[in-house]
Structure 1
């Protein structure tokens, strides 16, 4: 019997064109970088700081690791740069909804609502490389923002990133649920199914019904969100 459901966001609950999203995200950011300095150098240092954050395993949060590295590389005042990024996420980031053709996935709301109805803890387990302001914005794109989630993983809260097993350990610690009582629902074989290393059940969202061979992690279940909606009451018994 499961006690918690961990949902990936992009490509699972929220459908968007990831290539378009990343292309336009970096394009908008580089345009704003031009206002404060050498955008090529800032962009290069941004990527270095992100890579450092992706390797984080604590004790600092992802947020602290990113800012320590980024300010060291750029020599920029952290307070000013935090304000710069907050402005970017509040003013420019929302444009990416249309640019990436983002929309809620079929049955996303239904599986979230069914999870709460069954008394389960619900986690938005998106990779913790974005600040909470950006994640909440993406939840709005899918009309998934008005739910009492037990946890939304963001760079401010988490001390590691997917696919590190420490990421999933921290989620379980924060919601106080043992691994065998949780299920991770996601579309990425490496990032989402790595939760199985801890004994967490996994559901691979695979709307194309592709048969998977020779993959590192085998999902416990595979299907669409409609399929997950249908088996969820059985898992929660």
Structure 2
């Protein structure tokens, strides 16, 4: 019997062209800090620190701590401190520019709330790479609230990122999950469907499919238009 359903956010519950979103996000952030640092330089250093964070296996530091530790190393102290002074304001305000690269599907809130109403555990297994405000906004753009989920994987709390398998191991350990009782729903053929190696049932949404050409296994493949019917068929 399935008891826990994990959803990816970007490209799954929240329709999104990943490349356009990255361009809108990084473009708006580097523009916001252009009076502090050259936008091109800012973009390069953001990606470098992010890349180190993604690859980190250091369990002693959260993703947030790892990112800012690496980002600080790439800048002089004055520039770093000036960026820190405005970064929260950016996410409160200009991060909304990135919404232009996202969409909305009317069934996604219905899917999540149907499962919650039926008493299933619903986890938002979004890659914990962005601050709380950015995650909460993307949840709202999908027509959902943080309270619609039993748990959200957070930049400020988690110590691993996708595609590190330890990210999923952390979730399994945190909730003492039996993988055979779990379903992972995502649009990334590798980063989401890799949960099959732990024993999850895997559902792949193809609307905003990301497939790097590496082998994967999906127990069910469909679209957002198919998902609500599938959920109601399986989770009664």
The alignment's TM-score, normalised by the length of structure 2, stands at 0.88
How do 1:1-237 and structure 2 match up within 5 A?
Answer: 1-59=1-59, 60-76=61-77, 80-97=82-99, 99-100=100-101, 102-145=102-145, 147-207=147-207, 215-233=214-232, 235-236=234-235
Deviations 1:186-206 (A, max 9, x none): 011011101111111110012
Deviations 1:174-226 (A, max 9, x none): 233221111110011011101111111110012499xx9x7511101111245
5+ residue gaps, structure 1: none
Tell me the CA shift for residue 96 of structure 1.
Answer: 2.0
SS in 2 for 1:103: coil
- Asked if 2 retains the 8 angstrom alpha-carbon contact of 1:111 and 1:225, the reply is no
- Asked if 2 retains the 8 angstrom alpha-carbon contact of 1:106 and 1:225, the reply is no
The 1-side partners of 2:192 and 2:173 are apart by 18
| Number of residue-to-residue matches in the alignment | 232
- Asked if 1 retains the 8 angstrom alpha-carbon contact of 2:64 and 2:155, the reply is yes
The 2-side partners of 1:39 and 1:197 are apart by 40
Deviations 1:91-128 (A, max 9, x none): 1001221x21x232242012101111221111111111
* Structure 1 residues 79 and 201: CA distance shift in structure 2, 3 A: farther
- Asked if 1 retains the 8 angstrom alpha-carbon contact of 2:185 and 2:202, the reply is yes
* Structure 1 residues 81 and 219: CA distance shift in structure 2, 3 A: same
- Asked if 2 retains the 8 angstrom alpha-carbon contact of 1:118 and 1:233, the reply is no
Tell me the CA shift for residue 50 of structure 1.
Answer: 0.4
* Structure 1 residues 207 and 20: CA distance shift in structure 2, 3 A: closer
- Asked if 2 retains the 8 angstrom alpha-carbon contact of 1:46 and 1:70, the reply is yes
The 2-side partners of 1:26 and 1:228 are apart by 31
Tell me the CA shift for residue 81 of structure 1.
Answer: 3.5
SS in 2 for 1:27: helix
5+ residue gaps, structure 2: none
The 2-side partners of 1:215 and 1:154 are apart by 27
The 2-side partners of 1:178 and 1:79 are apart by 44
- Asked if 2 retains the 8 angstrom alpha-carbon contact of 1:3 and 1:177, the reply is no
- Asked if 1 retains the 8 angstrom alpha-carbon contact of 2:16 and 2:208, the reply is no
